[in-house]
Structure 1
Amino acid sequence: MNEKNPTTRRDGVVPRQGEIRDEVAAFVEKVGKLARPNAAEDGRLLFAMDATMSRQPTWDLAISLQAGMFEAIPKDAALQVQLLYFRGLGECRASKWVRDASALAKLMSSISCQGGNTQIGKVFSHARDEHKTRRINAVVFVGDAIEEDVDALCAKAGELGLLGLPVFVFQEGRDARVEAAFREFARLTKGAYARFDNSAPGQLASLLKAVAAYASGGKAHLRLQSGGEARALLAQIEGR
């Protein structure tokens, strides 16, 4: 794949707000069609982000919104979240698993974005290894570019699908090549895809809450979430 300057990845096209809302709504509804996690255990959500330089605005946004993931947890359930990020020259690191919003915010606020190429393959490999050790209910990946071999990434995504680990892919921007690959990752893992606009933080907040609701309480709890985003994400998952 062609490499891009990490500070100028986006294609400059302004997303249409109505289209973004529809895609976010479809994403949220699709999540609820997944099987319910094991209620006897904490839900586990791997939250992976591209932390290269073009991600800085979204990184700051995610720090401010991530508390909403914990607000979506059922009262009789618990959610553990692990932060995974890549940046710079081959750096890809995972945090410990945490159970509260303040701990996750502290982890995220200690990280600064740096220029570099994508490392989505490492994200998929880490998710596979963690899932084999102890079940992960869902993976969230937020990114805007791919600078790796897409066929190789699809092979890794297919392995996650066989393991029953859904990946929910959030794309910033409107790069058609990236969208096609991200949609395929979601299809292969029986997850879901959505595009979001960082100028409308409520959309990303709804997506994060929806996946957290599924990871901790299954589709039954996701149905309790208000708004079109939750209903639409249920529908997308149903189609897998």
Structure 2
Amino acid sequence: MVANIQAYLENLQQPWGQLYYDILFEQLKDIKGKRLLDFGSGFGLVANHLAKENQVLAVEPNEEMVALRVQDHPYQQCVGSLDQLASLEDASFEVILCHNVLEYVEDRKAILKEFTRLLKPGGLLSIVKHNEVGRVLQTVVFENDTRKALALLAGQDLETHSMGLAQAYDLDAAVEDLALEVKDYQGIRVFYGLQDNRFKGQEGWRKSMLQMELAVCQEPPYRDMAFFQHYWLTRS
């Protein structure tokens, strides 16, 4: 399945797409005064938000997404992928973000090696990834598709609505021979992806659901059932 950029953008403009960023921005709120790389920056929503209080370089391979990006605050935007990373100096960033990207690439290990090289010692790597348990829960509860859920349990990749096949991967295994250590993780989309969409346009839904999601995003077992997990790694 080829990525449908317009469908992806329209999804982000829905209440559930906006709520994802409400949660993520709250989890990123302590990042201030940093030299920051946003790899796979998409429409620039995170880069733009963090550029209010940080020096941000955004890298995105898809020219269509870059053309539609948000830029209310100044940040540098590049079109590229691994080639762009290779051109950057060692230990040049205090924070690197890579959100919902590594599921869709073949060169995951090469990208993580570049992140290790580019991070300063003690620097932070923020990775948002699909969670296999959350993917199965949504498929059974929201989509009511047990056949698809059983296929996911058997190891089949998840076909997302607009971005193609998302391949599950083990983050600990991906970084086991790198100078990166997983420190903590939070859940994103614990509850709201399980609700019928007819509730999500109601007045006050976004605010009340944000409060609910933030109340449990760092708590087991809720964070272990979320559709996305937000991992924090440090560079040793």
Shorter-normalised TM-score: what interval? 0.3 to 0.5
- Larger Cα-atom Rg: 2
TM-score by length of 2: 0.39
Structure (1 or 2) with the greater strand fraction: 2
User: Which structure ranks higher in relative contact order (CA pairs < 8 Å, sequence separation ≥ 6)?
Assistant: 1
TM-score by length of 1: 0.39
Structure (1 or 2) with the greater helix fraction: 1
